Amino acid sequence: MLPADLPPGTRLPALMIMARYWRSLELRVPDRPGKALIGPREATPDHFLPRGFALVIVDARGTGASTGVCRSPFAPEESVDYAEVAAWVRQQPWCNGSLGAYGISYEGATALRLAAMGVQGVKGVIPQEIEYDVYADIALPGGILNAAFIKAWSDSNNKLDAGKPSDLFPLMARLLTKGVRPVDADRPTRTMLNQALAEHRKNTDVFAALSAITYRDDRFGSSGLTLDDMSVFAHNDGLRKHEVPIFAWGSWLDGASAESVLRLFQTFSQPQIAVIGAWKHEMTAHGSPFQKPGAKPDPLQAQQWAAMTTFFQHTLVDNKPPVGKVLHYYTLGEETWKQTDTFPLPDTQWQTWYFGANQSLSTAAPTEAHATDRYTVDFTATTGLTNRWHTQFARPLVYRDRAKQDRRLLTYTSAPLTQDLEVTGYPIVTLHVTSTEDDGAFFVYLEDIDPQGVVRYITEGQLRGIHRRLADTSPPYVTGMPYHTCRRADAAPLPRGEQVELVIGLQPTSVLFRRGHRIRVAIAGADKDTFARIPARATPTLQVARSSVAPSRIVLPVVSRTEA
């Protein structure tokens, strides 16, 4: 797509979107003049085109109007395809040779893959709300199948690949959409599109393939690939080598997108602008539990797009890429923006809060030699249908008062705080636990309780019992979370009736617990509307130790504050 009324001979920088969810729609009504029919996305091309950028939107292999077979998400041949298209774009008479790429979620991850391919002229990319590690960030967080998302995403892709609108499209979009838009040369006969749709029947069913995966080294369907092979970190060497500037966006409350931003920020040395807010997956509404549901995002969408334009103007047009690295982050509870050029923050202190008698939580270490709390897993426990994992399939991001849900969980709650406490970074929980079953899912939630008793979700972590072993080697990226390999050779059943130690990293956050509020840690064995049930039939009873020899606890990254 080119700007309207482009003078002959004008050469422009080009922005690429590599699309999994149709690059363009064929509508049942006449096209709107001057509007980009860009599938189920926000109309960013309508913003960029009049600002002097060309847009190239590509259907990934085996999807949309492209031929071929999609044997897995993010298959290696996809990246080769994108590099080939990018090289072609640079040769077009309307392109000045400078390229950028951007996108949300899958398409943001493809932007990073293009940056790793070494295509001449790729000068800046904007990955937004991405999954950097497919296993840990989206498919099996903590080794537990993210069943609700994977099923909905797989069903959606199957419909799209058959040429039908997805059930995840808004109702009006489904009614107005005939199917994927053929390429212009194919519109009279649709011969190429019909061939493509016929080839898509061979695409791998994602839900079936992922449902068979337990370990990182399991293979995805018949592809021969592991989830590691499909992850952005498989392209780390290319990202390091080519040092394309990155403008990364994430949310503390959208899947593992904040952790993905922090991994990029800490792992790579090239110029980076990193932004972590508190919005839903599409960045169109606020998601902070301290805001009204559906509140406008901060910054507003127009401001987001303006920032993206500035980045591409500097990198693709002015040849003035950013210098160094800067992280802009939003602090929940305080509802303010801050910035840093290093992470973890340099004034961080690790503060330990111990589980205590009467389900208390305090900084005083336990003194009892033997003390436990009993909990029988409640498989009706849930974080709802608008949580950080469900927003990734076009749902709102809303965490309502969790007081009622917490009655289904084992909780530990502090006394009211005597002063504000800012937590920014990676909370880490250590559980000393005994189970009646040889496997289980362990969910841990960090929550804020205000003086009126409203319980607000802050963040969470999870771990499957068989994956409890901590790795002897470093992960393939920098992270503040404990690293469990989740490989077959490192797995082991829980020894029934014997105490084990589980170290669970929670998704990173930035939150201000205000004076008078209380901190709560809540423990569950299920999240029924999101994750697969483990074990499938039995109901475990747990004993959580809180003794001097087995002190279950949470360690919080506390940031020093200057009191007014």
Which residues are marked as active site? 105, 254, 281
Give me the phi and psi of 541, to 5 degrees please: -110, 130
Q: How far apart are CA 535 and CA 532, in angstroms?
A: 9
The Cβ-side half-sphere exposure at 223, using a 13 Å CA radius, reads 28
What lies within 8 Å, CB to CB, of 184 at 6+ separation is: none
Q: Which helix (H) or strand (E) holds 89?
A: helix 76-90
What is the SS3 assignment for 118? coil
Q: How far apart are CA 342 and CA 478, in angstroms?
A: 13
Q: Are 302 and 240 in contact (CB under 8 A)?
A: no
Closest CA to 120 of 269, 268, 244, 271: 244
Q: Are 60 and 19 in contact (CB under 8 A)?
A: yes
| Residue 65 DSSP code | T
Q: Which residue has the tokens 């840093």?
A: 340
Q: 354-369: string of b/e by CB count within 10 Å (b at 16+)?
A: bbbeeeebbeeebeee
The one-letter amino acid at 12 = L
In the sheet with 246-251, reading across from the earlier edge strand, the strands are: 54-59, 12-19, 95-104, 122-128, 246-251, 272-277, 325-331, 336-340
Q: Are 437 and 538 in contact (CB under 8 A)?
A: yes
What lies within 8 Å, CB to CB, of 564 at 6+ separation is: none
The one-letter amino acid at 452 = Q
- CB atoms under 10 Å from CB of 200, counted, come to 22
| Residue 232 DSSP code | G
The Cβ-side half-sphere exposure at 324, using a 13 Å CA radius, reads 5
The percent of the chain in helix, strand and coil, each rounded to the nearest 5, is 25, 25, 50
Q: Residues 196, 202, 203, 205: is their CA dihedral positive or negative?
A: positive
H helix runs in 141-235, sequence order: 147-161, 171-176, 191-200, 206-211
Task: List the structure tokens of 328.
Answer: 């802009």
- Cα angle: 375, vertex 378, 380; to 5 degrees: 160
| Residue 317 DSSP code | I
The one-letter amino acid at 477 = Y
